[in-house]
């Protein structure tokens, strides 16, 4: 019996089931048990995400159970994981990535540019909040938490004019018909790993590592790891809202990153491309270009700022 840790939301369970299905295709004799664990983020459902004093609010309790041997591995949305990886655990399998885009769900199917002045837009993400402020300072951004279905109901009930969510989650839940607009990556640049599901296991559990390696997608791994490295290098441990997206095409990888000032009035962005076999050189070029443009000053500003919605 292989024990798999997961959160209890419908989306988390769907993602975990998809991983189990993929593993059973490699060996139909395998037997799995899902173990649902409540995380800090699940317990404090109404608390703003940016106000948590500890990192990894959607992973810590689950990964601790993996580390202590209570679970064989855990399934997460990669975007929820902290950039600082544990020395005992590893990202054993990054599943083929879904769309990394954000999407808009709105009343009357309006697009982002069509939203009326003063429209109320809900999100739990500081990154999305500051991106909205930069491109549409005339909109009112309101903090919104809860599972995907609950957030969509807020639009249906006209408590919000629109909300912004990750497209991958909408697709996995079969809610594509609710999407009003797919938002472009250079406007709403996602967090590292958005759209990817990851299986986390112990470094020393060779049997589980070998099993999970069979469902690891090399292209998705390259893109997601590059994004995490970029964000880690730029943020220096600060929880600044950094958008970054990497795309591997053949032997080349392109990386685009965007960082916004605390007041939402300034954007520093850069796009670089290079050979995928020297991808860390591409990362260094991107970091250098962003540094020249003054990204460190913006990051330092975020480090000193209490988020104000």
Burial code (b: 16+ CB inside 10 Å, e: under 16) for 94-115 equals: bbebbbbbbbbbbeeebebeeb
Q: Is the pLDDT of residue 184 over 80?
A: yes
Query: Among 55, 59, 50, which Cα is nearest to 7's?
Result: 59
pLDDT at position 24, please? Answer: 98
Average pLDDT over residues 212-228: 97
Residues 12 and 39 grouped into a single domain: yes
pLDDT at position 56, please? Answer: 59
pLDDT at position 238, please? Answer: 78
Domain that holds residue 65: 2-95+196-216
SS3 of residue 269 by DSSP: strand
Q: Is the pLDDT of residue 146 over 90?
A: no
Whether 37 is in a domain gets the answer yes
Residues 146 and 204 grouped into a single domain: no
With pLDDT > 90 as the criterion, what percentage of the chain qualifies?
84
* CATH code where residue 170 lies: 3.40.190.10
Q: Is the pLDDT of residue 230 over 80?
A: yes
Number of domains the chain is built from: 3
pLDDT at position 55, please? Answer: 53
Average pLDDT over residues 264-268: 95
Residues 107 and 87 grouped into a single domain: no
Query: Among 85, 298, 287, 116, which Cα is nearest to 203's?
Result: 85
User: What average pLDDT is seen over the chain?
Assistant: 92
Whether 210 is in a domain gets the answer yes
What residues contact residue 51 under an 8 Å CB cut-off, 6+ apart? 307
Higher pLDDT, 236 or 199: 199
Whether 209 is in a domain gets the answer yes
Whether 190 is in a domain gets the answer no
* CATH code where residue 248 lies: 3.30.160.40
**Residue the block writes with tokens 């220096």:** 236
Residues 177 and 139 grouped into a single domain: yes
Q: Is 80 a catalytic residue?
A: yes
Residues 61 and 140 grouped into a single domain: no
Whether 173 is in a domain gets the answer yes
Q: Is the pLDDT of residue 111 over 90?
A: yes
Q: Is the pLDDT of residue 215 over 90?
A: yes
Least confident of 178-187, 255-264, 288-297, 298-307: 298-307
Residues 209 and 85 grouped into a single domain: yes
Residues 60 and 201 grouped into a single domain: yes
Residues 211 and 231 grouped into a single domain: no
> 21-78, pLDDT tens digit by residue?
999 999 999 999 999 998 765 654 555 555 444 555 558 899 999 999 999 999 999 9
Whether 189 is in a domain gets the answer no
Higher pLDDT, 85 or 135: 135
Residues 68 and 109 grouped into a single domain: no
Residues 112 and 168 grouped into a single domain: yes
Whether 243 is in a domain gets the answer yes
Average pLDDT over residues 163-185: 97
The DSSP result for 53-73, as a single string, is SSS-TTTHHHHHHHHTTS-SE
Q: Where are the alpha helices (DSSP H) in the chain?
A: 10-26, 40-43, 60-67, 126-135, 148-156, 167-172, 206-213, 218-235, 279-292, 295-303
Q: Is the pLDDT of residue 306 over 90?
A: no
Can you give the pTM of this predicted structure? 0.91
Q: Which two tokens stand for residue 12?
A: 């988390």
The DSSP result for 138-196, as a single string, is TSEEEE--S-HHHHHHHHHTTS-SEEEEEHHHHHHTT-GGG-SEEPPTTTSPPPTTTT-
**Residue among 72, 80, 102, 161 flagged as catalytic:** 80
pLDDT at position 17, please? Answer: 98
Q: Is the pLDDT of residue 123 over 80?
A: yes
Residues 113 and 177 grouped into a single domain: yes
Residues 107 and 160 grouped into a single domain: yes
Whether 188 is in a domain gets the answer no
> 149-171, pLDDT tens digit by residue?
999 999 999 999 999 999 999 99
Going by their DSSP bridges, the two strands 89-94 and 197-202 should be labelled as: antiparallel
């Amino acid at each position: 019996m292989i024990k798999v840790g997961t959160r209890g939301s419908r989306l988390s369970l769907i993602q975990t089931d998809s991983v189990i299905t993929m593993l059973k295709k490699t060996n139909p004799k395998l037997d799995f048990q899902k173990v649902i664990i409540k995380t800090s983020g699940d317990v404090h459902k109404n608390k703003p995400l940016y106000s948590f004093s500890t990192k990894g609010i959607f992973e810590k309790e689950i990964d601790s159970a993996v580390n202590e041997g209570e679970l064989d591995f855990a399934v997460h949305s990669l975007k929820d994981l902290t950039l600082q990886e544990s020395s005992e655990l590893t990202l054993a399998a990054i599943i083929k990535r879904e769309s990394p885009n954000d999407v808009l769900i709105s009343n009357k199917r309006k697009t982002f540019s069509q939203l009326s002045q003063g429209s109320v837009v809900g999100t739990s993400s500081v990154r999305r909040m500051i991106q909205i402020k930069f491109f549409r300072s005339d909109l009112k951004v309101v903090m919104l938490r809860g599972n995907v279905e609950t957030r969509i109901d807020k639009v249906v009930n006209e408590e919000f004019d629109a909300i912004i969510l990750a497209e991958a989650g909408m697709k996995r839940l079969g809610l594509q018909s609710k999407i009003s607009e797919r938002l472009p990556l250079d406007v709403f640049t996602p967090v590292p790993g958005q759209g990817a599901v990851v299986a986390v296991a112990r470094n020393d559990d060779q049997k589980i590592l070998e099993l999970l390696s069979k469902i690891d997608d090399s292209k998705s791994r390259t893109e997601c790891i590059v994004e995490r490295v970029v964000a880690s290098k730029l943020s220096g441990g600060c929880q600044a809202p950094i958008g970054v997206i990497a795309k591997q095409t053949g032997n080349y990888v392109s990386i685009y990153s965007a960082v916004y000032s605390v007041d939402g009035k300034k954007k520093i962005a850069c796009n670089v491309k290079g050979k995928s076999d020297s991808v860390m050189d591409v990362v260094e070029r991107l970091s250098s270009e962003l540094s020249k443009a003054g990204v460190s000053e913006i990051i330092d500003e975020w480090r000193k700022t209490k988020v104000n919605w």
